[in-house]
Amino acid sequence: MLAQRAGDLDVYKLAFQLQQHIFQISKSFPKEEMYSLTDQIRRSSRSVGANMSEAWAKRRYPAHFVSKLSDSDGEADETVHWLETAFACDYLKQDKKDELVSQYTHVSSMLHKMMLNQAAWCKGFVSSK
């Protein structure tokens, strides 16, 4: 099936699943982290999918499409940073941190493939000048 919206993309579905998983995990972070680590990791994990949605809407402009996918990739990398921080603060166990980092690495790989093959994703939206 061809994707009709960003939510149909496998990479979006994975990013959304991860953001929900991080939301659940972050509920156990200490209260003193509410406006720092907890807020940061929730925001960056949610921004991965949000930027994909924006990229999808901008497919008629290949440079904007790639730019928003790049933003999404950056948010995935930021989320990895916060996962590493949560681990360093003993809020996450090694195996959980490794699992989540691996999944975000997979999301980044999928985004890179989309960026490298942007012509196929933007097909039908770009004029043939």
Identify the CATH number of the domain in which residue 62 sits: 1.20.1440.60
Burial class (CB in 10 A: 0-12, 13-18, 19+), 117: exposed
In a domain? residue 114: yes
Residue 126 has pLDDT above 70, yes or no: no
In a domain? residue 123: no
Mean pLDDT over all residues of the chain?
94
Residue 124 has pLDDT above 90, yes or no: no
pLDDT at 129: 41
Q: How many domains are contained in the chain?
A: 1
Reported pTM:
0.92
Closest C-alpha among 76, 85, 90, 75 to residue 28: 90
Domain span at 76: 30-118
Please give the helix or strand (H or E) that residue 109 lies within, else none: helix 94-116
In a domain? residue 49: yes
In a domain? residue 17: no
In a domain? residue 18: no
pLDDT tens digits, 32-87: 999 999 999 999 999 999 999 999 999 999 999 999 999 999 999 999 999 999 99
